[in-house]
């Protein structure tokens, strides 16, 4: 497995990963726009040129705001999400970020466990922030060592 920067070449394949995770996810056009934003940092997890997942964050001043992380359903619970998350944390540290923030659906127990294991701490909850289905957003933060 390896992690490489997300480029226009991967747009269709990353869009397929996003569709496979369900919910009201990002569209191909939204991913395409991310490629043109200077503070957007997105990566793909791949094996033998097959994309297994992707993740990204926005670097704003000395903060990394995680926007997405997704692993194909058949590739989950094998350490790939943790591998990708640790890469994003490491990249944010190298980029000079002092904190990383994220939000996650309150019903996403697997993601919450992953983030807690990586040292993220719950800051607050936004009630009914998500739709399709309606769910609360848990806002989390991690202090980074750069």
Report d(CA 116, CA 109) in Å as an integer: 10
pLDDT value of position 20: 84
Q: Rounded to whole angstroms, how far apart are CA atoms 96 and 113?
A: 26
Q: Please name the residues in contact with 26: beta carbons below 8 A apart, sequence gap of 6 or more.
A: 18, 68
Q: Which of 18, 54, 103, 130 is catalytic?
A: 103
- Spell out the residues 6+ positions from residue 143 whose beta carbon is closer than 8 angstroms to its own: 98, 99, 119
How much is the pLDDT for 130?
Answer: 86
pLDDT tens, 2-48?
999 999 999 998 998 888 876 557 888 999 998 999 999 999 999 99
Q: What does the pLDDT look like over 59-96, one tens digit per residue?
A: 999 999 999 999 999 998 899 999 999 999 999 999 99
* 63-71 and 99-105 beta bridge pairing: parallel
Q: Are 56 and 6 in contact (CB under 8 A)?
A: yes
Q: Can 103 be counted among the known catalytic residues?
A: yes
Among this protein's residues, is 115 annotated catalytic?
A: yes
| pLDDT value at residue 24 | 57
Q: Is 85 helix (H, G, I), strand (E, B) or coil?
A: helix
Q: Which pLDDT score, from 0 to 100, does residue 78 have?
A: 92
Q: What is the pTM of this model?
A: 0.92
How many domains, the chain? 1
With CA atoms as reference, report the closest residue to 123 among 135, 134, 115: 115
More confident residue, 137 or 132: 137
Is 16 within 8 Å of 75 (Cβ atoms)? no
Domain that holds residue 78: 2-143
Q: Which two tokens stand for residue 58?
A: 């926005």
Residue 81: what pLDDT?
95
6 close to 14: Cβ distance less than 8 angstroms: yes
CATH of the domain at 42: 3.40.630.30
If one compares 58 and 76, the residue with the highest pLDDT of the two is 58
Q: Is pLDDT above 60 for 121?
A: yes
């Amino acid at each position: 497995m390896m992690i490489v920067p997300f480029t226009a070449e991967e747009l269709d394949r990353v869009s397929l990963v996003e569709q496979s995770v369900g919910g009201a996810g990002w569209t191909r056009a939204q991913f395409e726009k991310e490629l043109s934003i200077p503070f957007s940092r997105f990566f793909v997890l791949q094996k033998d040129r097959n994309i297994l997942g992707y993740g990204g964050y926005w670097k704003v001043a000395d903060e990394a705001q995680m926007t997405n992380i997704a692993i194909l359903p058949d590739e989950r619970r094998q350490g790939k999400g943790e591998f990708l998350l640790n890469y994003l944390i490491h990249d944010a540290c190298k980029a000079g970020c002092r904190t990383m923030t994220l939000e996650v659906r309150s019903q996403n127990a697997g993601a919450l466990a992953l983030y807690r294991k990586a040292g993220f701490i719950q800051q607050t909850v936004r009630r009914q922030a998500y739709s399709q289905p309606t769910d609360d957003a848990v806002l989390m933060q991690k202090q980074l060592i750069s």
